[in-house]
Amino acid sequence: MVRQMNHKRLHEEVQRQAKRHVDNLTKPLGSLGALEQIYVRLAGITGQLHPDIGQKAIVIMCGDHGIAEEGVSAYPQAVTGLMIHNFAKGKAAVNVLARQHGAEVRVIDVGSLLDEVPIPVVDRRVRKGTANFTVAPAMSLNEAEQAIQAGLDVVRQLKAEGTRLLAVGEMGIGNTTSGAALTAALTGLEVERLTGRGTGVSDESLSKKQQAIKQALATHRPDPSRPLEVLAQLGGLEIAGMVGCYLGAAQEGLPAVMDGLISTAAALVAVRLEPMVKDVLFASHLSVEPAHAVLLQELGLEPLIAAGMRLGEASGATLSLPLFDSAVGLAREMATFADLGLPEPNPSLGEIEQGEEQGANQP
Ligand SMILES: O=C(O)c1ccc[n+]([C@@H]2O[C@H](COP(=O)([O-])O)[C@@H](O)[C@H]2O)c1
Ligand SMILES: Cc1cc2nc[nH]c2cc1C
């Protein structure tokens, strides 16, 4: 399924023009930092020198985890379903942030234990919760593919409805154990270095978490060159759903903003399945979870915000959305040096030479 997809290629000429444009804006070269890179990358993805990112959507993939029975979370498993109801009522943190920043929230249940899924949550349940992956694969390959398909479908639909910027997040009690296990399997790094306290577990539960991950790695012997298999062994249904979102974003040429540990672990699985996914990915914040920094480094992306957050549910990604508007707005509205009758700065020259040789753009 994953191999048959066509992914949009970057518009490299537009991206070069955007780089030249941002360098010609009335500011010292590079002084808008990450905002410059956001703008240039958005231009490359969309093929527009002034990218339209007006319509934004937040996808929250939800699912329950069999691993929760190992006592790895600070909260009971029922909180996954309760939060799905909370999202449906518009009362969760992400709903507030989405309203503040003008984005639509779409909640997809790919695997909760709920008897009934509340309106307007989309019911795409593949099964009710994963298996406890210390004893069995979390799900079958076929189930992982079905959950990926749910992500592909929602992104295709959102794009058709006019979405131009996507944020991807999740809800699932126990899923920081899954996120850390996937990171360990895909990077080969030590479990101790990658395991964090998730919702805020005690020292005792932290060590249960580490033991559970080690046991799962010993049981399944995940092969990092087979990412779909690794996902089925150690992942979650909502994680597979997010993998589908990123694959769908790459197919549609839609910029996709990742959230914290779990959302970024899904992105790494998607990139390992299809390297072109990397072209559409943006990092938002840096989660407190230790594996998150490792994943971002693996993807070669720098987070925009370090606010000490560890909530999930796409909250960090949603918080970063105004930075994307700022990046595009600055590029659209600022004057250029040409507007002031000055020569274009030359980014290949160092600061001093440029000032001396061109006598321009320096105070
Ligand atoms: O995004 C993160 O980095 C993050 C860090 C810690 C916790 N979470 C959220 O908390 C839940 C998982 O935590 P836990 O302790 O149950 O594994 C899940 O619903 C995530 O959305 C999310
Ligand atoms: C209350 C609560 C809200 C959440 N949102 C995302 N993960 C969460 C975990 C808990 C426990």
Q: How sure is the predictor about 355, in pLDDT bands with cuts at 50, 70 and 90? A: very low
pLDDT of 43 strictly over 60 = yes
Report if residue 352 sits inside a domain: no
Q: Is residue 213 in contact with ligand 1, taking CB distance under 6 Å?
A: no
On the question of pLDDT at 99 being above 70, the answer is: yes
What per-residue confidence (pLDDT) applies to 4? 65
Catalytic residue among 313, 333, 351, 356: 313
Q: Answer yes or no: is 136 within a domain.
A: yes
Nearest CA to ligand 1 atom 22: 312
The Å distance, Cα 92 to ligand 1 centre, comes to 14
The answer to whether 313 is a known catalytic residue is yes
* For ligand 2, atom 11: residue with the closest CA: 75
Residue 122 lies inside a defined structural domain of this protein:
yes
Q: Is 145 left (phi over 0), alpha (psi -120 to 50) or beta?
A: alpha
Atom of ligand 2 nearest to the CA of 172: 7
- Taking only the tens place, the pLDDT of each residue in 138-154 is 999 999 999 999 999 99
Count of domains forming the chain? 1
Is 74 a domain residue?
A: yes
* Ligand 1 proximity of 313 Cβ (cutoff 6 Å): yes
Has residue 45 got a pLDDT over 80?
yes
Please state the rounded mean pLDDT for residues 261-281.
98
* The pLDDT of residue 346: 78
* DSSP per position, 13-30: HHHHHHHHHHHTBSSSTT
Least confident of 112-126, 291-305, 316-330, 344-358: 344-358
Using CB distances shorter than 6 Å, the residues near ligand 2 are 75, 79, 83, 171, 199, 311-313
Q: Give how far Cα 318 sits from Cα of 44, 52, 210, 312, 324, Å.
A: 22, 17, 30, 10, 11
Residue 2 belongs to some domain of the structure: no
Q: What is the distance between the alpha carbons of residues 234 and 185, in angstroms, rounded to a whole number?
A: 9
Q: Is residue 280, in this structure, part of any structural domain at all?
A: yes
Contact indicator for 162, 263 with CB cutoff of 8 Å: no
For residue 118, pLDDT over 50 is answered with yes
Residue 5 is assigned to a structural domain of this protein: no
Q: Which domain holds residue 233?
A: 56-326
Query: pLDDT digit string (tens) for 196-250?
Result: 999 999 999 999 999 999 999 999 999 999 999 999 999 999 999 999 999 999 9
Where residue 189 sits, what CATH number does that domain have? 3.40.50.10210
ipTM value greater than 0.95: yes
| pTM for the whole structure | 0.96
Asked if residue 39 is part of any domain, the answer here is: no
What is the number of the ligand closest to the CA of 91?
A: 2
